[in-house]
Structure 1
Amino acid sequence: MSGSGAGPWDIAALVPIVREAGGSFSDLTGQDRFDTGSALFCNGRIHEEALDAVRAAL
């Protein structure tokens, strides 16, 4: 799931839930930040590939 324009309070609450479930999170630059207004949450095994795909689409 990716989002754009979300507030930090929207994203921060999901980070520990996703990570505990084995997923991964980053902003769209690949950094571990939730204050940029963008986020990528996905299966931990495909996070880098999903991040590349999102970047290519922007």
Structure 2
Amino acid sequence: MELPPPAIERLKALKDKTEASSYAEVTKNAYRLYDLIIEMQEAGRTLMVKEPSGEVKELQIFV
């Protein structure tokens, strides 16, 4: 898989932040999350985030 330099830097940063053992692990986890979000959207569900202020908002992913 070929990625532009900015995408490679993001991949490296995610690997470090998550302490993943490999780039494949980061990619696998990203696919799982992406699949879950799509399934939730297809089922009519929404994802909510709680702001530090306590306010709860819908997370807009695919606008």
- The two structures have a TM-score, normalised by structure 1, of 0.32
Higher relative contact order (CA 8 A, sep 6+): 1
Between structure 1 and structure 2, the one with the greater Rg is 2
Higher strand share: 1
Given the two structures, how large is their TM-score scaled by the length of structure 2?
A: 0.30
Question: Counting helix residues as a fraction of each chain, which structure ranks higher?
Answer: 2
